[in-house]
């Protein structure tokens, strides 16, 4: 699509939706773990042959999934037009970032929205892995990947609802690389996990995991908010009964670094001090925090809480509106909406939790900074999650050790 046509399309879609875009569900396949089958798809829709199976849904995404096999646009969200046609959100954003992000924010963030929200759903615990800090991601032209989790209530937690996070404190004293190196060289077991600590996944809570932290998320259905990146280095060989390709250890490693240092190079991605923090749980565990009352930003019914915080790179809230109630919201910038449960309207758009065609929206800047109404027209609570990118909320709560 020519840039001029894309700008016209962006303006037309925003005008038709009063500054709110309806997003199509964006399903992403993975081939290294069995799917959890809790994403609401028909049973015969999960398995995709060589691509693996649908294990994730990406929300408001302008980030391509970095998969070995898959379509070119896997991971990229589409905007649904009133005439039933669809266009990539990324194309609209690239053509007219000011219309979606606002002039000041677009100028300060030329890379785009800067965050990625997703739902991931696996039947087995994810393997122990690490995301590259920015100075190593720079070597391969990528972006770091801090991430945070929220475990929504009311969903089966799976067989292993505990996550291995970080390493034992004594490994954070400069001994970690030598202790873990043999597992990367041998690449034949899951025994690397004995050097980590398992934390229970509790419904309604979550964790904040900065880049450089080793982690193996458990089987709870998870809503994740992260930097817009798909970089990783896999450290665990055996998982869910099979050996993972060792190429994933070197997925984002330059050839010259691999040839020079072999398995020792990915160990440089690990922030040993952060991993071995004896107060890791206290500093990274997230429980909902009420959003302070502010009539200029939230009036009417319902309650708001921070569920993604401890970071200014991204953050997010949960809004619960009771049956028959409504809430008027004013935010500081563009955000994505996921209606988790309930029925009603958001910014004048019909929404229905659990219906992938009616549960996802993007609110552009100009609409976000004006009063927008969320109304519950159903008999159950309207449960809405909102996701923000870097630098939008300067009042996000921070933990002492962040």
Per-10-residue mean pLDDT, the chain, length 402? 73 95 96 91 92 95 87 93 89 96 97 96 97 97 96 96 97 90 98 97 98 98 95 96 95 97 98 96 96 94 96 97 98 98 98 97 98 98 98 89 60
Closest to 323 measured CA to CA, from 342, 300, 307, 309: 342
pTM: 0.95
Q: What tens digit of pLDDT does each residue of 178-216 get?
A: 999 999 999 999 999 999 999 999 999 999 999 999 999
Report the pLDDT value the prediction gives residue 240, as an integer from 0 to 100: 92
Alpha helices in 214-268 (DSSP H): 255-261
Residues 6+ apart with CB under 8 A from 84: none
Angstrom CA distances, 175 to 79, 182, 210, 234, stand at 49, 13, 21, 20
Report the pLDDT value the prediction gives residue 1, as an integer from 0 to 100: 55
Report the pLDDT value the prediction gives residue 174, as an integer from 0 to 100: 77
385 DSSP assignment: E
Alpha carbon distance 385, 383 (integer Å) = 7
CATH of 1-46+77-112+288-390, one of 3.40.50.300, 2.60.40.740, 1.10.357.10, 2.60.120.10: 2.60.120.10
Domain with CATH 2.60.120.10 in the chain: 1-46+77-112+288-390
């Amino acid at each position: 699509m020519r840039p001029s046509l894309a700008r016209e399309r962006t303006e037309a879609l925003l005008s038709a939706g009063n500054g709110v875009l309806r997003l199509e569900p964006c399903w992403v396949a993975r081939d290294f773990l069995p799917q959890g089958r809790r994403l609401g798809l028909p049973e015969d829709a999960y398995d995709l042959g060589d691509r693996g199976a649908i294990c994730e849904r990406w929300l408001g995404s302008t980030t391509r999934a970095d998969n070995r096999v898959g379509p070119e646009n896997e991971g990229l969200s589409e905007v649904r037009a009133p005439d039933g046609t669809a266009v990539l959100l990324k194309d609209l954003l690239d053509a007219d970032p000011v219309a979606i992000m606002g002039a000041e924010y677009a100028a300060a963030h030329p890379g785009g929205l800067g965050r990625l929200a997703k739902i991931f759903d696996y039947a087995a615990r994810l393997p122990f892995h690490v995301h590259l800090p920015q100075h190593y991601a720079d070597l391969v032209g990528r972006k770091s990947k801090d991430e945070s989790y929220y475990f929504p209530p009311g969903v089966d937690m799976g067989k292993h609802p505990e996550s291995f996070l970080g390493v034992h404190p004594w490994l954070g004293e400069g001994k970690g690389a030598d202790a873990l190196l043999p597992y990367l060289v041998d690449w034949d077991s899951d025994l690397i996990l004995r050097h980590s600590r398992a934390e229970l996944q509790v419904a309604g809570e979550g964790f904040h995991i900065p880049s450089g932290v080793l982690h193996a998320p458990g089987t709870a259905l998870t809503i994740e908010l992260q930097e817009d990146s798909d970089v990783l280095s896999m450290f665990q060989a055996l998982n869910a009964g099979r050996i993972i390709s060792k190429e994933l250890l070197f997925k984002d490693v330059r050839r010259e670094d691999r040839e020079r240092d072999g398995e020792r190079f990915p160990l440089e991605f690990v922030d040993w001090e952060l991993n071995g923090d004896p107060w890791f749980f206290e500093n990274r565990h997230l429980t909902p925090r009420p959003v302070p009352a502010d009539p200029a930003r939230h009036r009417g019914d319902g309650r708001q809480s921070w569920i993604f915080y401890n970071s200014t790179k991204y953050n997010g809230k949960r809004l619960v509106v009771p049956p028959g109630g409504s809430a008027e919201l004013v935010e500081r910038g563009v955000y994505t909406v996921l209606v988790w449960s309930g029925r009603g309207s958001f910014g004048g758009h019909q929404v229905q939790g659990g219906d992938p065609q009616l549960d996802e929206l993007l609110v552009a800047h100009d609409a976000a900074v004006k009063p927008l109404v969320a109304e519950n027209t159903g008999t159950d609570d309207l449960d809405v999650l909102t996701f923000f990118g870097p630098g939008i909320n300067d009042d996000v709560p921070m933990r002492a050790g962040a």
